[in-house]
Amino acid sequence: MSETSSAEPAKQRQGIQSIEVGTRLLRALAAGRRAMMLRDIARNAGMPAAKAHRYLVSFMRMGLVEQDANTGRYDLGGFALELGLASLARLDPVRLAGPVLDDLCERSGETVALAMWGNHGATCVRWVEAGGPVTITLRTGVVLPLTSSATGLAFSAFYRSPYLKKMLDAEVRATAEARNAQPEAVLAALMAQLDEIRGHGISRASGSVTPGINGFSAPVFDHSGRMVAAITSLGIIGNFDIDWESPIAQSTREAAATLSRRLGHGSVDADSMA
């Protein structure tokens, strides 16, 4: 390796310290979630008020910060909003889910999958096989039923779409016909099941779609609080604990929460976006 190539990583690590210092003020403003006085921004950023003021003046010229002329309080500016929205628009749930699914599969020893809402319903877009003695596979592109699969139930409980409601009504009618039951009774039982799922923050199914297979599925939310995907764990009945608070249930919830955070969930006050 030449001297030039060996020195390149060190050069890449060099930066402009003043920018890094000033970013502490932007972080303080973002964490405050409302307009702030200079003294409070400076204190939260850990720097003298006079120094903080000089940075804020430059940030105002750039549009990263704005100041209310009446109160003197500072807040994030229009350019900061543009940067945030541009960053959020570039977030790809499928790409970001890769390491999360790999980690969940490795820790749990179960087959895991990512599903998103497609033209035909809850659709498997990625899966990682555990490689155990019994193979559990999910074909990419398969559409899962809304009322009998763990993945479908997660979407039924947390996803909001007029199209989903139409599909759900159709499945309820088909189930009622197959059971020779009243659609109202089937719907009432489903609504109670969905309330339970919302209470636990995760759905479950046992042998309903594939005989001998249990599943948990947890919702993934984006920065606006909207469900955009579901992470599902699947395992063999007898080895896969279907209890709401089982280790696999906890791990699946945690994986979904991790991916949600990477998509910006919880980083923006939902009330401020309403």
Domains of the chain by start residue, with CATH: 15-85 (1.10.10.10), 91-261 (3.30.450.40)
CA-to-CA separations, 90 to 227, 242, 263, 264, in angstroms, rounded: 17, 36, 10, 11
pLDDT at residue number 7: 47
Q: Pick the range with the lowest mean pLDDT from 40-49, 55-64, 129-138.
A: 129-138
Instruction: Using pLDDT thresholds of 50, 70 and 90, give the confidence band for residue 88.
Output: low
pTM to 2 decimals? 0.69
Q: Does the pLDDT at position 37 exceed 80?
A: yes
Query: Which amino acid type is present at position 261?
Result: R
What is Dmax (Cα atoms) for the chain?
Answer: 79
29 phi/psi in degrees, rounded to 5: -65, -45
CA distance 95 to 114: 11
Q: Does the pLDDT at position 9 exceed 60?
A: no
Average pLDDT across the chain, whole number: 87
Instruction: Using pLDDT thresholds of 50, 70 and 90, give the confidence band for residue 134.
Output: low
pLDDT at residue number 272: 41
Q: Which string of DSSP letters, residue by residue, matches the chain?
A: --HHHHHHHHHHH---HHHHHHHHHHHHHHHH-S-B-HHHHHHHHTS-HHHHHHHHHHHHHHTSEEE-TTT--EEE-HHHHHHHHHHHHT--HHHHHHHHHHHHHHHH-SEEEEEEEETTEEEEEEEE----SS-----TTPBPPTTTSHHHHHHHHH---HHHHHHHHHHHHHHHHHHT--HHHHHHHHHHHHHHHHHHT-EEEESSSSTTEEEEEEEEE-TTS-EEEEEEEEEETTTS---TTSHHHHHHHHHHHHHHHHTTTTSS-HHHH-
Half-sphere exposure of 242 (CA within 13 A, CB side): 14
Q: Pick the range with the lowest mean pLDDT from 45-59, 68-82, 255-269.
A: 255-269
Where residue 131 falls (left for φ over 0; alpha for ψ -120 to 50; beta otherwise) is left
pLDDT at residue number 267: 67
